[in-house]
Structure 1
Amino acid sequence: MNALHDALFEPRRIALIGASADPTRLTARAQLYLRKHGFEGEIYPVHPRESQVLGERAYPTVTDIPGPVDFAYILLNTPHVEGVVNAIAAKGIPAACVLADGFAEAGPEGAALQARLLATARAANLRLLGPNSMGLINLNARIACSVNAALEAPSLHAGRLALVSQSGSMMGAIMSRGAPRGIGFSHIIGTGNEADLTAGEVAGLLVDDPNVDAILLFLEAIRAPEHYADLARRAHAAGKPVIAYKLGRSPYGAELATSHTGALAGSDAAAEAFFRAHGIARVTTLEGLLELPALLAGRKPMARAHRAVGVTTTTGGGGAMAVDCLGVLGIEARAPDPAAAALLDAAGIQHHGRLLDLTLAGAKPDRVAAAIGALQAAEDTDLVLSVIGSSAQFKPQDAVAGILRARDAGGAKPSAAFLVPQADASLALLAAEGIAAFRTPEGAADCIRAWCDWTAPRPESTAPAIAHDLPARPDEADARRLFAALGLASPFAVLAGPQDAAVTPYPVALKILSPDLAHKTEVGGVKLGIANAERLKQEAAAMHYCVARMAPEARLTGFLVQPMVKGLGEAILGFRRDPEVGPVVLLGTGGVTAELHRDVTLRLAPVDLAEAEAMIAEVKGLKPLAGWRGLPRGDLVALAQAVVAVSRLAARADIAEAEINPLIIGAEGTGVTVADAWVVRAAD
């Protein structure tokens, strides 16, 4: 624990600045909820005209409060916040929260105001939560310093899950969804715009809290990725999973997340790569955010996932739904292997196919336990899923008894349950026992996929520096020289004009050179298969005329000529400095349709050779080059080395993005060839 943890999560003296004496107003809620839910510390309402607010002595300004204050919640409208932050800083309060919106998300003026708040806070060593924050709740310490209407509930169910949410409204929504199922929280914090404290830093304060078993994140954007990296490493070492639900998987969701918080959104693929690299389990369903913790808590990621499960069921239709949803996410429901089959035979349980159907055999607890135990002995699966029918609704104790017996027998791998009917009592029983239970087949599949994808944080890596000068506005020739410095040299020549055509050997490809044209084909800037010097002069003259007419604003710097090369396949290999997570490397199927098919995979840069090989295996369009169905093998070793090389651009802060498309992959042992290259310098 540290002083900031105590100021945020265990304050004993709280100032409510702008607290209302009218109990019907939003700004009265924090005071009402603190007392309603058992806060026994001091509350100091600050009101310029009232001597008492809701039965507590009030003070005209924060300066008038006698003695130290641990935490301040600013409930005033936006125009009044800046002056109060100055007063809080002067009083030496260590932490404060700002409820008001109208800051970075509201445009340049709001962003400037937010920047001034932050500057004042940093000068005084004051830490800020928000703006646009609904406050924080510590249920075990009975501190409900929030205006979230979910606190109207007569009582709050304390638990061992901590939730850090960038959305204030989702604080109460997630808490309310967990309550009927017996899922409780230790802490719930809204971080809002994160002018200062980010969700990653706040969550990091909870890693060492003995009341926390798992940390949940509801994210709209990733700010200060280094905070999440530190959180994930420490949480993994402490055996506490970190689970994220992040918006922005669609361009529309990304747009809304950006406008809501004033954050600069990156790509969702980059966010996915970020979570994977740092061992943060990602769910894509809201149900999964509540259901996955029971599956991961107390466990470490698997060394190698089979991406397969064993499934028992007491309802054929329900079992089929689960198998189908799992299959959509690439998880196979697998028939019992010889080890599991032998145990099933010994128990007299018939088995065939992907589903172990116990319906007609009678789903008695001992038989269910025996079936689960047998499937847990399988050597080619990662989990056992029990699908339960109507008994979960009408006979909850009987429905879960077999699962509990199997758990008590100490199976080698985790088991979980999907309850087909609406069965809150059974869900609550399983939650109380720490067994993962799913309300929908989609949620079950999402969580099991997350379990299979979950990895330990990868070791921190750095890329060696690349000493190579790059002009302020590079064209393709400059990009090629940069890639050559990385070890990816391919032959080319630069022509100053159409008359300069003394190159060999032919045939060649001719391209216009310009720092302003990333897609030269679209403006007539590429010609392939030129057979001789005379033809090259003609094509260069025609190309210059065509490009100048179609892209009159582009600065033309000459021509690039390169030998025609054929290979077994094409890849797109790129580097980008993502605005959320930082440097990433991308690999996918290449050519002019690369953006259309989106058959790509990403990693945080830099990567090592093993990670590069894993990326190659994930790209569907590159699988034929591995000798699929007797096809010739491509030089995937050279491709992996190229991925590693390009990922080293992470060491160059002056490069925003770079791309080779296509990178031509030759036959095994013949290497790769840069067919087209592009680089963009970072803005100063």
Structure 2
Amino acid sequence: MTEQDALPPGYPQEWEADVVLADGMVGHIRPIRPDDAEAIHEFHAAQSEESIYLRFFAPIKRLSDKDVHRFTHVDYSDRVALVMTIRDKIAGIGRYDRLQPGGPVAEVAFNVSDHHQGRGIGSVLLEHLADIGRELGVRRFVADVLPQNRKMIGVFRDAGYDASHEFDDGVIAVSFDIEPTDASRAVRMSREHRSEARSVRQVLHPPSVAVIGASRRDGTVGRAFLEHIVAGGYTGRLHVVNNRAEPGTLIGGLPSRASVRDIEGGVALAVVAVPAPDVLAIVDECADAGVKALVVASEGFAEAGREGEQLQEQLLTRARRHGMRVLGPNSFGLINNDPEMSLDASLAAPEHLPPHGRLGLFAQSGALGVAVLASAQRRRLGISTFASAGNRVDVSGNDLMQYWLDDEATSVVGLYLESMGNPRKFSRIARRLSSIKPVIVVKSGVGKYGTPRGHRVRSTQERPEAFAQMLKQAGVIRAENIHQLFDVAQLVVNQPLPRGQRVGVVTNSDALGSLAADAALSWGLEVVHGPVSVNAEARVEEFRRVVEEALARDDVDSLVACFIPPVASIDPEVVQAVGATVAGHEKPCVATFLGMRGVSPGGSLPTYTTPEDAVRALAAATRYAQWRNSDRGTPVRPDRINRRAVHDLIDAVLERSPRGEELSQEDTAALLAAYGITLWTSVPVSSDEEAVEVYRQMKGTVVLKATSPLLQHQPGQGWIRTGLRHPKAVGAAYRDLKALLEPLGAEGIALQRMAAPGGVTVEVHSSEDPLFGPVVGFGVAGVPIDLLGDVSSRFPPLTDVDIVDMVTSIKAAPMLDGYKGAKPVDHTALYDLIARVSVLADDHPEVAQLRLTPVMAHQDGVDVLGAQVQIAPAPTRTDAERRAMLS
């Protein structure tokens, strides 16, 4: 019988998760099972008398079988228990028991192994129990804690919830609502950041490395890794493992061992270069030897087909079960250029190894890893660290960004992404990283053919433009290719950021000057000085003088310098003169010297082969500097929100329709009202007589509109009759619309009060995307959306600045500002409506689709005239309220 077959009825497998602990190692959290009884006895027996007393308020040497049966047999609703396992041993237990069946209050308790204290296990268990409890209708946790149990009191105190404490009869009664707060979310993200950064640090700063699979033959992958580590001058302990050689055989000058288990003192990082079928056995050996991380260079995993996919899943499961991180498989390796580490555990030939510098690089593909490193080396652009994730089964770009947030050796980050497993988390981390360091991203494969085999990704329903909008929202610099990534990197690594968009242009060629100035204008920069041109045969001093004059001007924020030598070769004195002059000012300069690209020899002046490349990089740096210096706003928190009402409505819908359904107008109005959005009443009518009767009840001017979903995305106004002020007009309009719909097989006509004349018809929508999570969209209804695709998308949680940018970034935005004499719309009311939709989408993943249309935006506010809402079972979000690694 397999472990899967032994699961009890109702076992919630979706609660299982791998989590990075506070010390950077990996633990597995899962619901308790009846077959955990013996493990519970073993766990309890290993605890100290003090720990037992603090948990049970009594010196219980051995738990009774009856107690253990009660602990391990739960209903996963009123009684929930989770265990944290590390290397298949229980390291912690957390549980809650409702005070009343189905009630909103539950008593919570924890027990963490003495051997695993200080790893944040109690905090992780609390996060997961709270999130599970909210899903099941629990609203408040209570706990009785002995005053001397300072660690558990600290878990509750530091979680970010607003907890109350009462001392009674020698016990502290703790009580708190488990609805997430800004503080609890901040705590969770801070802990996640510290844990993941520490985890990656263990990968990049290993005190000892073993190359497993290093061969005596030259030209093999394992031998290449070994030779590069030796040639790079690695400062730690290096070992060789080859189970086909006699122990002690010299390989690359080092004595080999048959197994990593035979290495005295253990190993921190193992580089695995053995055939794919042998990798799982190596993982087990590494676990026995206490290895903390693996670089798996082996091919033949998910990129090779279905069998390889299964092998890759087994690799991940086995490594995480033993608490290890994995870079790969199919990884090109990693580099840490810190002189105190000097680790080149990569397949890059020494001649392609960039020097030590301040650029952190991440690439997924091995082949592109070669191109990335070679390009950095050719441009004399130094790197701090580099990692290739290969098939990205575990360690990802998100993990590296967590590390680079704190890494003082890295000032700029570059990522080449072939796929993205968790864009919601990427956006959150990238926004934080971009606020202190430039982040440059190349993303290949935005279309359906772009994801390489072997990469675990979810499909997306969003347009390719959504990814670019996500990067913009996060302040990330988007590059189209590696060439452009390094064009920008060599500027932002070596020069200060521009203070504004005003540029000067100096040159010794009118043609080059014109090209540079035109490029600057096309990229949205403002040319305020020049082009200033000196004679083509001008001396070095003359060129230095015009550079100095341009940089000295108060109205010049950055400089473009272009030089064509009068003879075939570049005069190094010109390069040195320009570089020295630029170094004397706190302004960036990009330079074009014929045939030169990279960082000037012996200096820090970024050079480009064409003025267009130089200006494109300067424009990217300027836009980034503007984003970084701008007010990025505060998270929107609209008032008059009743989350509980929406929870209850969604639960009722999914109870009667487990696969979900489109809400009725009544339920739609109730859902929107709970978030402070008023939906105008729309009354379905089935005859001209009924339409007239409803009109008489409504009074005033009305509209008749077709409500069939078949017509939802068809442009034009043929499906609506407006300005109806008389019973005869209403009846005639109904008959006319009915006749129009019948040949199409479309049904459904409704009557509604007509909004005040004037204003702009807009649309606000949200969707729960499998990849991105909640996505909110905005546009002007009709031709701008339907024909031109003029829609802006943003990814909650949103700030007030995000929403303003969302509205103003569409091409049709001038229509909202009083186009051709019309009255400007009430932007404040429009922003408020988008904020409410964004919070609704963020709070409730069950809202699969929400579409507010038509929405009349006018000078006195906004009127929501129509809405459709589709409810569906909530997908598993890639960035949920409880920490979990993607699997």
Partners of 2:794 and 2:578 lie apart in 1 by 38
Q: Give the alignment partner of residue 370 of structure 2, picking from 172, 178, 194.
A: 172
Instruction: Output the amino acid matched with 2:221.
Output: L
**Cα pair distance change 1:503/1:256, threshold 3 Å:** same
After the TM superposition, which of the residue ranges 674-683 and 646-655 deviates more from structure 2? 674-683
Q: Answer yes or no: is the 8 Å Cα contact 1:369–1:405 preserved in 2.
A: no
Q: Give the alignment partner of residue 852 of structure 2, picking from 646, 651, 660.
A: 660
**Cα pair distance change 1:209/1:618, threshold 3 Å:** closer
**Cα pair distance change 1:108/1:72, threshold 3 Å:** same
Partners of 2:311 and 2:410 lie apart in 1 by 35
Q: Give the alignment partner of residue 636 of structure 1, picking from 827, 835, 855.
A: 827
Instruction: Output the amino acid matched with 1:21.
Output: R
After the TM superposition, which of the residue ranges 182-191 and 290-299 deviates more from structure 2? 290-299
**Cα pair distance change 1:33/1:50, threshold 3 Å:** same
Partners of 1:263 and 1:94 lie apart in 2 by 26
Partners of 2:547 and 2:352 lie apart in 1 by 42
Instruction: Output the amino acid matched with 2:443.
Output: K
Partners of 1:448 and 1:154 lie apart in 2 by 27
Q: Answer yes or no: is the 8 Å Cα contact 2:212–2:242 preserved in 1.
A: yes
Q: Answer yes or no: is the 8 Å Cα contact 1:418–1:444 preserved in 2.
A: yes
Partners of 1:389 and 1:61 lie apart in 2 by 61
Q: In structure 2, what is the equivalent of residue 35 of structure 1?
A: 230
Q: In structure 1, what is the equivalent of residue 509 of structure 2?
A: 315
Q: Answer yes or no: is the 8 Å Cα contact 1:95–1:127 preserved in 2.
A: yes
Structure 1 length-normalised TM: 0.81
SS at match of 2:793: strand
Residue pairs, 1:428-439, within 5 angstroms: 428-429=599-600, 432-439=602-609
Q: Answer yes or no: is the 8 Å Cα contact 2:401–2:433 preserved in 1.
A: no
1:242 equivalent to 2:439? Answer: yes
Q: In structure 1, what is the equivalent of residue 703 of structure 2?
A: 508
Measured after TM superposition, the shift of residue 169 of structure 1 is 1.8
Partners of 1:392 and 1:417 lie apart in 2 by 18
SS at match of 1:571: strand
1:22 equivalent to 2:244? Answer: no
Instruction: Output the amino acid matched with 1:283.
Output: A
**Cα pair distance change 1:55/1:542, threshold 3 Å:** farther
1:145 equivalent to 2:339? Answer: no
Measured after TM superposition, the shift of residue 134 of structure 1 is 1.4
Q: In structure 2, what is the equivalent of residue 588 of structure 1?
A: 779
1:325 equivalent to 2:484? Answer: no
1:274 equivalent to 2:470? Answer: yes
Rg larger in structure: 2
Partners of 2:431 and 2:761 lie apart in 1 by 37
Q: In structure 2, what is the equivalent of residue 79 of structure 1?
A: 277
Q: Answer yes or no: is the 8 Å Cα contact 1:571–1:589 preserved in 2.
A: yes
1:422 equivalent to 2:619? Answer: no
SS at match of 1:293: helix
Q: In structure 2, what is the equivalent of residue 288 of structure 1?
A: 484
1:357 equivalent to 2:533? Answer: yes
Q: Answer yes or no: is the 8 Å Cα contact 2:273–2:297 preserved in 1.
A: yes
**Cα pair distance change 1:365/1:672, threshold 3 Å:** farther
Partners of 1:543 and 1:26 lie apart in 2 by 71
Partners of 1:560 and 1:485 lie apart in 2 by 24
SS at match of 1:597: coil
* Percent identity (aligned): 23
Q: In structure 1, what is the equivalent of residue 752 of structure 2?
A: 562
Deviations 1:173-193 (A, max 9, x none): 122122233212222210123
Partners of 2:546 and 2:528 lie apart in 1 by 16
Partners of 2:406 and 2:418 lie apart in 1 by 25
Structure 1 runs not aligned, ≥5 long: 337-353, 551-555
Q: Answer yes or no: is the 8 Å Cα contact 1:105–1:263 preserved in 2.
A: no
Q: Answer yes or no: is the 8 Å Cα contact 1:270–1:604 preserved in 2.
A: no
Partners of 1:598 and 1:37 lie apart in 2 by 52
Measured after TM superposition, the shift of residue 325 of structure 1 is 3.2
Measured after TM superposition, the shift of residue 535 of structure 1 is 4.1
Partners of 2:294 and 2:735 lie apart in 1 by 71
1:473 equivalent to 2:661? Answer: yes
Partners of 1:546 and 1:185 lie apart in 2 by 67
Measured after TM superposition, the shift of residue 451 of structure 1 is 1.5
Deviations 1:512-558 (A, max 9, x none): 356xx5836499994544954534664676577556x57xxxxx8x6
1:492 equivalent to 2:684? Answer: no
Partners of 1:12 and 1:159 lie apart in 2 by 21
Q: In structure 1, what is the equivalent of residue 582 of structure 2?
A: 407
Q: Answer yes or no: is the 8 Å Cα contact 1:319–1:387 preserved in 2.
A: yes
SS at match of 1:443: helix
**Cα pair distance change 1:523/1:281, threshold 3 Å:** closer
Partners of 1:643 and 1:184 lie apart in 2 by 44
Q: Answer yes or no: is the 8 Å Cα contact 1:463–1:606 preserved in 2.
A: no
Deviations 1:277-300 (A, max 9, x none): 433333234223223234334888
Measured after TM superposition, the shift of residue 487 of structure 1 is 3.8
Q: Answer yes or no: is the 8 Å Cα contact 1:270–1:578 preserved in 2.
A: no
Q: Give the alignment partner of residue 413 of structure 2, picking from 215, 219, 223.
A: 215
Residue pairs, 1:514-593, within 5 angstroms: 519=712, 521=714, 526-529=719-722, 532-535=729-732, 538=735, 549=745, 559-565=749-755, 567-591=758-782
Partners of 1:646 and 1:294 lie apart in 2 by 41
Partners of 2:199 and 2:282 lie apart in 1 by 20
**Cα pair distance change 1:484/1:244, threshold 3 Å:** same
**Cα pair distance change 1:494/1:58, threshold 3 Å:** farther
After the TM superposition, which of the residue ranges 221-230 and 42-51 deviates more from structure 2? 221-230
Instruction: Output the amino acid matched with 1:315.
Output: S
Q: Answer yes or no: is the 8 Å Cα contact 1:376–1:384 preserved in 2.
A: no
Q: In structure 1, what is the equivalent of residue 798 of structure 2?
A: 607
Partners of 1:528 and 1:107 lie apart in 2 by 57
Q: In structure 2, what is the equivalent of residue 163 of structure 1?
A: 361
Q: In structure 2, what is the equivalent of residue 394 of structure 1?
A: 569
Measured after TM superposition, the shift of residue 215 of structure 1 is 1.9
Partners of 2:822 and 2:707 lie apart in 1 by 35
Q: Answer yes or no: is the 8 Å Cα contact 1:369–1:402 preserved in 2.
A: no
**Cα pair distance change 1:407/1:445, threshold 3 Å:** closer
Structure 2 length-normalised TM: 0.64
After the TM superposition, which of the residue ranges 611-620 and 33-42 deviates more from structure 2? 33-42
Instruction: Output the amino acid matched with 1:437.
Output: T
Q: Answer yes or no: is the 8 Å Cα contact 1:575–1:659 preserved in 2.
A: yes
Partners of 2:790 and 2:318 lie apart in 1 by 47
Q: Answer yes or no: is the 8 Å Cα contact 2:634–2:801 preserved in 1.
A: no
Residue pairs, 1:245-264, within 5 angstroms: 245-248=442-445, 250-251=446-447, 255-257=449-451, 259=453, 261-264=455-458
Q: Answer yes or no: is the 8 Å Cα contact 1:585–1:606 preserved in 2.
A: no
**Cα pair distance change 1:577/1:35, threshold 3 Å:** same
Instruction: Output the amino acid matched with 2:581.
Output: A
Measured after TM superposition, the shift of residue 594 of structure 1 is 1.3
TM-align CA RMSD:
3.8
Q: Answer yes or no: is the 8 Å Cα contact 1:510–1:561 preserved in 2.
A: yes
Measured after TM superposition, the shift of residue 94 of structure 1 is 0.4
Measured after TM superposition, the shift of residue 497 of structure 1 is 4.4
Partners of 2:856 and 2:303 lie apart in 1 by 44
